[in-house]
Structure 1
Amino acid sequence: MLELQSLGIGGGSLAMFGMLLALLLTGMPLAFVTILVALIFALGWFGPVVVPIVTTRIYSFMMQYVFVSIPMFVLMASILDRSGIARDLFNAMSVVAGRLRGGVGVQTLLVSVLLAAMSGIIGGEIVLLGLLALPQMLRLGYDRRLAIGIVCAGGALGTMIPPSIVLIIFGLSANVSIAELFTASFAPGLLLATCYAIYVLTLGNLFPHMAPVPDVEDTQTTLAEKLVPLKGLILPLIVVTFVLGSIYGGIASVTEASAIGVVGVILSTLVRGELTFKMLIDSGLQTLRTCGMIVWIGVGATALIGVYNLMGGIDFIKTLLLGVSDEPIYVLLTMMLILGVLGMFLDWVGIALLTIPIFAPIVVSLGYDPIWFGVLFSLNMQVSFLSPPFGPAAFYLKSVAPPDISLGTIFTSLLPFIAIQLFVLALVISFPGIALWYR
């Protein structure tokens, strides 16, 4: 049963990686791949005696109290998907955009920030914006590639703007404060959204045909009419204030705040007259599907990392990374490169659960702040959402985009926004105070 030990940790690491890659290429889901590889190496390296140790590790991970917040935030997003709150938000932001050249693009980005602050889910937000904002921009004559980029990049802001599920998973994996991660990520998230807006406005003014000004009939004519849509901001702002305010004010933990958010969104739909039993059932089923995927990936990744740790793999990876250079910054950049490459092929949940237990201790040993690294990780996952060949944002938008918009067109449209993401990532690496401003 112990034949795999003869490979040594170097050969074993290569064999494990090769087996993971080969099984993933067959189309098998990541969760099942990691479970299978973990089982093979547990039995082949140690024998049956190690299985109870691995299952204990899985149980400890899954029983963390803050894990409860994930289904709560997913449920919030599921209900938002089925309500008219996003539509009213978009209409309300038209007052802010006014007759700016590129204003509808900025309007879309503002809605993206507010939707992200309400739920922290990415997929549903891109679909909503694809249904609301993309047709509006195309109707106004916006450059198709610019409109596509705005929707996908704006929709992916949920990885950075609290309450981000990416940050929750990172906090669980790195064993750091999620509330502190939320605080640290807010400024970089707003910086990224601001950079998007500056790009859209600059492009609109340099090339007016790419972002036309709305016609007269597309804008309200009196002050009273202009203020009417602003009522759509009231309920979302109340929900955001209660969720984030309770966390930052020390009134509630992240888990408790997530429950407050669910209650707030349900009450909002009730006030709007949209709450139905069917909506709750459909939202609950979507939540179960999403969280089921996260749980299975969590089980597989935790088992795999547990086995690899027992093999001595984490110390092996640490030695390899620290051998890259005597300068900590080069080791950090190597980690960023690894995350970037993985982000082109794997889901962010799998990347977080597979890499963070290995990377986080190395980051601390280098003298870096793990909270700052969490922000860098989230920015990296921003890039992964847009990166070809498997960027999820492109596929989410393709599901609701006009038939003549191909995946190739979508990915090409995202390249300038990926460049902006990399620019902001470089800024936060160069100036950690952007994330750690609160200290």
Structure 2
Amino acid sequence: MNENIDSTLRETLDALYYNESRRVLATLIRLLGDFDLAEDAMHDAFAIALTQWQRDGVPTNPRAWLVSTGRFKAIDRMRRQTRFGTSWEDEQIFEASSMEATDVEDETIEDDRLRLIFTCCHPSISLDAQVALTLRELCNLTTEEVAHAFLNAPATIAQRIVRAKSKIRNANIPYEVPEVEDLPNRLEAVLKVIYLVFNEGYSASTGSELMRHDLSGEAIRLGRLLIELLPEESEALGLLALMLLHDSRRAARAAPNGDLVLLDEQDRSLWNHEQIAEGSELTKKALSSGNFGSYTLQAAIAAVHAEASNTNQIDWAEIVGLYDLLLHANQSPVAELNRAVAVAMRDGPEAGLALVDDLLSRGELNKYHLTYAAQADFYRKLGKIEQAKVAYQYALNLTRQEPERRFLNRRLAELKN
């Protein structure tokens, strides 16, 4: 990379890539009709911007400029390829990209992300592949981060993504939001995608930061778009409520130095009470439908936490009861782990430890760092210091996020003193 490039321009482009690259990519996928070609075109556009903006200045609408430049770069590449003989499919891509060459308005770019989710979540693609592809392409998660979200191996996720792209290309899956009557059949995967995007933003799987606000904010925005499409869909309401209630704690979840602050130690005056009020109302609306599922029940649990004036006022019996309903609706080992923590708060650490030990004995979540962190905390509260040290070390070995690593190291240091 040219060392003479102005540092301010580098910072501008870095910020644009961080905040806008997925919007640019979504539009290029629509215009070019191919995931890999669009990704190459996007990177070409950012590379050209690095030198051209140094000479001409940053354009008034950088995002539209990047889309336009990337598209024309891809068209130019395809034209060169046609001179040396390309397949019929490549010609079709070239024709499609040329016909839609003027469609780069901002409003269209905004819509493209929702189109991309529904394209990735087409019913002809397996559910796991739908989610993996969308997380990779729409949210720019690495294959390793997607694998963490699935508690799966990166190689497995990479294969799913490749197969999903091939399916979309070979089956000519349309790049569009389905008609209203077809939306319910596509909703499960879309909700799961948005949920996993939010989770990665709420607690990043890797890196130096506890949270990725860009991802949690994007998930909430997409949740609102879904509500516009399906205003009476209880699980869409429940998911948006859940995200708002969790996100309301954002300002209190990390200390000024970036360290993790546990829920019972958070300054509740820093919580966003407008978000809590909106999330609570959405939860009530979803519950009142009588036809709700796991997202609404998780929102109800979050609402019990959010509406308590302090930790001592939390109704742990109600939370355990809601987890029982949640597990009946959706048997999930992570929900079982969370229930174990709630049971420990209601009945004591020994009861919680028995449930976590049972999870581990079944081979459930034995590569999930929070399982061992919970186990270690129960051991610590029971005065079983050596067992707590071992469990904290297991958790430390499994986590790749720096604030969590610092927290676990502090816990270990406290036990050694």
- Scaled by the length of structure 2, the TM-score of the pair is 0.22
If asked which structure has higher relative contact order (CA below 8 Å, sep 6+), I would say 1
| TM-score normalised by the chain length of structure 1 | 0.22
Structure number with the higher helix fraction is 1
Structure of larger gyration radius: 2
